[in-house]
Amino acid sequence: MRIGIVTFPGSLDDVDAVRAVRIAGGEPLRLWHGDESVHGVDAVILPGGFSYGDYLRCGAIARFSPIMAEIIRLAGPPDAASPGLPVLGICNGFQVLCESHLLPGALVRNDSRTFVCRDQRLRIERTDTVWTNGYAPDEEIVVPLKNGEGGFVADRATLDRLDGEGRVVARYLELNPNGSYRDIAGVSNAAGTVVGLMPHPEHAVEPLFGPDHDAQGRSGSTDGLRFFTSVLQGALSV
Amino acid sequence: MGRVVVDVMPKPEILDPQGKAVAGALARLGFTEFAAARQGKRFELEVAGEVTPEVVARAREAALTLLANPVIEDVVGVAAAPEV
């Protein structure tokens, strides 16, 4: 399985996503924002970072990249029942997915007006997606979170629809770090192929390099790894 | 050379943390008569010739496509810049 990871100008966590795919046992392929082709990859990851310096709005300019035109075409509209190209958008990637209208809603500045960097507990609420089928329903995980504009917002009708259709992929537990409505940390399209997630699973895939396991700072958590092994189970591709 | 001014504001129902920060700072500076503040964006788009209705229409299209995110923002003004 080949997983494409896009680099936009200002992407930060693309190399970490490449590493996570490799650790998971997949074959990563780096994709350039100016390229119009995804070169036949089975799935795409839009990584975290600060594409175009977050100028205008986070992800607002990256959303019009040549490669996004192709990804939008292959992924299909968010309410389509039939599956298109699987896409995982992490942090800035989630912002790009919302700006692209591949996912509903938008991400706005944290309500605390601070940049929050913390190990964040999440509940994985939708496990029938390409990216989360390796988790148990309502499993709790801890992965790093680092964002200044991570507040997920949408109108009441959209929020009710996401809740009603089981399209909320992950919710914040213990503490809402950014004011996201209904504690939403991640959402999906109807088919479960496109997932946007604010926290960073790619930073919790290797012992010693993830969230602290105990007070001594020993790290054993690889809670994020299954985002990258799930997709290797056989993506619902075009 | 003409200019079109586009004004974008966050939708009223959207939380505006920047506006709250501004309002708090105003109060701390003694501007206590201002109960609230909301912060938007102003864009100035330059064209080579004069600003015709067609130019304004294109600016509105640009505003709805790129300058504003219709999920969270309203385009509250698109007009030729006043002659200085």
Interface touch A113/B17, C-beta < 8 Å: yes
- Taking the C-alpha atoms of residue B84 and residue B79, their distance in angstroms, rounded to an integer, is 14
For residue range A144-162, list pLDDT tens digits in order.
999 999 999 999 999 999 9
Asked whether residue A238 is domain-assigned, the answer is no
Question: Which residues in chain B have Cβ-Cβ distances shorter than 8 Å to A179?
Answer: 15, 17
Asked whether residue A65 is domain-assigned, the answer is yes
Average pLDDT over residues A11-36: 98
Lowest mean pLDDT among A42-46, A175-179, A214-218: A214-218
Structurally, chain A folds into a number of domains equal to 1
For residue range A96-140, list pLDDT tens digits in order.
999 999 999 999 999 998 999 999 999 999 999 999 999 999 999
Listed by start position, the domains of chain B span 2-14+40-80
Average pLDDT over residues A62-78: 96
In three-state secondary structure terms, A102 is coil
Distances (CA, A) of A77 to A71, A84, A98, A194, A229: 11, 9, 12, 10, 25
Closest Cα in chain A, distance from residue B67 (Å): 7
Q: Quote the tokens at residue A220.
A: 């054993």
* Backbone torsions φ then ψ of A162, nearest 5 degrees: -60, -45
Confidence class for position A236, pLDDT limits 50, 70, 90: very low
Question: Which residues in chain A have Cβ-Cβ distances shorter than 8 Å to B15?
Answer: 108, 111, 151, 153, 179
E strands, chain A, in order: 2-7, 27-32, 43-46, 87-90, 106-108, 116-124, 139-147, 151-153, 168-172, 184-188, 194-197
Active site amino acids of A:
91, 200, 202
- The residue segments making up the domain with residue A122 are 2-233
In three-state secondary structure terms, A125 is coil
Can you list the alpha helix ranges (DSSP code H) found in B34-77?
53-62
Asked whether residue A52 is domain-assigned, the answer is yes
Find where tokens 């507990």 sit.
A121
Q: Is B66 on the interface with A (CB under 8 A)?
A: yes
Say if residue A235's pLDDT is above 80: no
For residue range B10-63, list pLDDT tens digits in order.
999 888 888 999 999 999 999 999 999 999 999 999 999 999 999 999 999 999
Closest Cα in chain A, distance from residue B71 (Å): 7
For residue range A200-213, list pLDDT tens digits in order.
999 999 988 888 87
Characterize the bridge pairing of strands A106-108 and A87-90. unpaired
* Backbone torsions φ then ψ of B31, nearest 5 degrees: -85, 65
Which CATH number belongs to the domain containing residue A222 in this structure? 3.40.50.880
Asked whether residue A64 is domain-assigned, the answer is yes
Closest Cα in chain B, distance from residue A113 (Å): 6
Q: For residue A237, what pLDDT is reported?
A: 41
Q: Are A44 and A89 in contact (CB under 8 A)?
A: no
Q: Are A132 and A122 in contact (CB under 8 A)?
A: no
Q: For residue A12, what pLDDT is reported?
A: 96
Average pLDDT over residues A171-192: 97
